[in-house]
Chains A and B, each alone.
Chain A
Amino acid sequence: MHESADEHTMERILNKNDELAEHNRDHFREAMTCTVNLMSAPGAGKTSLLEATFRMAGRKFSSTVIEGDMVGELDADRIRKTGVSVHQISTGRSCHLDANMVARLLHSEKMEKTDVLFIENVGNLVCPAEFNLGEFKRVVLLSVTEGDDKPIKYPVIFRNCDLVVFTKCDLLEYVEFNLGEAEKNIQAINPDVVTMQVSSKTGYGMDKWTSWIQSQIEAYRQEQKQTKHVHQHSH
């Protein structure tokens, strides 16, 4: 018998995905586009947040959207109505986007060079957490109708994100959602995370959200300037 452990040391199972994510990162770097991966449970308000963003922050930064959905183009159609260009990835039976799906899109469709690219992941608090897409920042949305215990039930996604947005805050008075408790639960898992509250419906908190996006666009540019070395980029 031949134990191949001698020749190869450990290998990350999702190695291939991570390599493709790096490749996607090169594409984003070429376009100088700050890429944000939006994740949440189904219906937490990802598309609504994007619609509100484009309605309210139209001139502050330019945007493109990648919509990941299992079937149909419902969300893509909603984004199109705002005038922002959108690219659809139909994931079929897959419950998450992976780096390969994004890479295929980047190679087959001409992407606009915008300040920011929002990738709306498939609504799911488990699977998307495992797959890097090459994004600069990861955002998780938690709607107040879901309950403040969700970070405890889905620790992986809440640990591996940069920002948590509490959505549908206009509904706070109707539901038992303790913001302080939710915040404490998230901080215990991810001490460096930023949190904020919004309502896409009333516009509450939208200024904070758009400022955060602007600060990330700036941070991304700074980072690219500092790491300005030649990147091999092959297809």
Chain B
Amino acid sequence: MHESAIAKSILEIVSQRLHSIGAPATAHNVSVVFGEFRNAEPESVEFAFDNMKAFYPGAANCQLVINTISAMAQCKRAQHKYHPEASNAYRCPTCDSGIGNLLQGEELDVVNVVVELDQTE
């Protein structure tokens, strides 16, 4: 399952951010975006993330916030903008040509990590 590899990569980025602070800190949440044209199934990634986070210091209670980004294509023939759909074989509904460019939908990014410095007495 490559979803666990994706979850692991997210946790490594969280760990790195915690480390870069240079003081004991805790991660509250991490926001990621998954484009529709990437093979990342949110539920599977979340399941793997929650199963692994305890192994990453400071991330045991970190919440994963996933936003999916729907695809937006520009057709090959006339640059019409459209949402490519499997039911239409990803073709342009206006002129039936295929995907020229994908303007969005290929994201697989961490956009934000919220961390808090640990209290020290």
Contact = CB atoms under 8 A, between A and B. Distances in A.
Interface of A: 1-5, 7-8, 10-17, 94-96, 98, 126-127, 129-131, 152-153, 155-156, 159, 184-185, 187-191
Given A12-B108, A14-B108, A189-B90, A1 B116 contact: yes
Nearest to A124: B2
A94 B8 CA distance: 13
Interface string B39-71: 110000000000000000000000000000000
B116 A13 contact: no
Contacts of B113: 3-5, 8
Given A156-B37, A159-B37, A188-B89, A8 B17 contact: yes
A13 B110 contact: yes
Main secondary structure of the interface of B (DSSP, over half): mixed
A5 B111 contact: yes
26 contacts: A2-B25, A2-B114, A3-B115, A4-B17, A5-B112, A8-B17, A11-B110, A12-B109, A13-B6, A13-B9, A13-B32, A13-B108, A13-B110, A14-B108, A16-B12, A17-B9, A129-B39, A130-B38, A130-B39, A159-B37, A159-B99, A159-B102, A188-B89, A189-B99, A191-B98, A191-B99
Nearest to B17: A4
Interface size band for B: 35 or more
Contacts of B97: 188
Nearest to B33: A10
B39 A127 contact: yes
A110 to B, nearest CB: 28
A130 B39 CA distance: 7
Contact of B5 (A5, A94, A156, A159): A94
Contact of A188 (B5, B17, B37, B90): B90
Contact of B112 (A3, A16, A95): A3
A15 B16 CA distance: 12
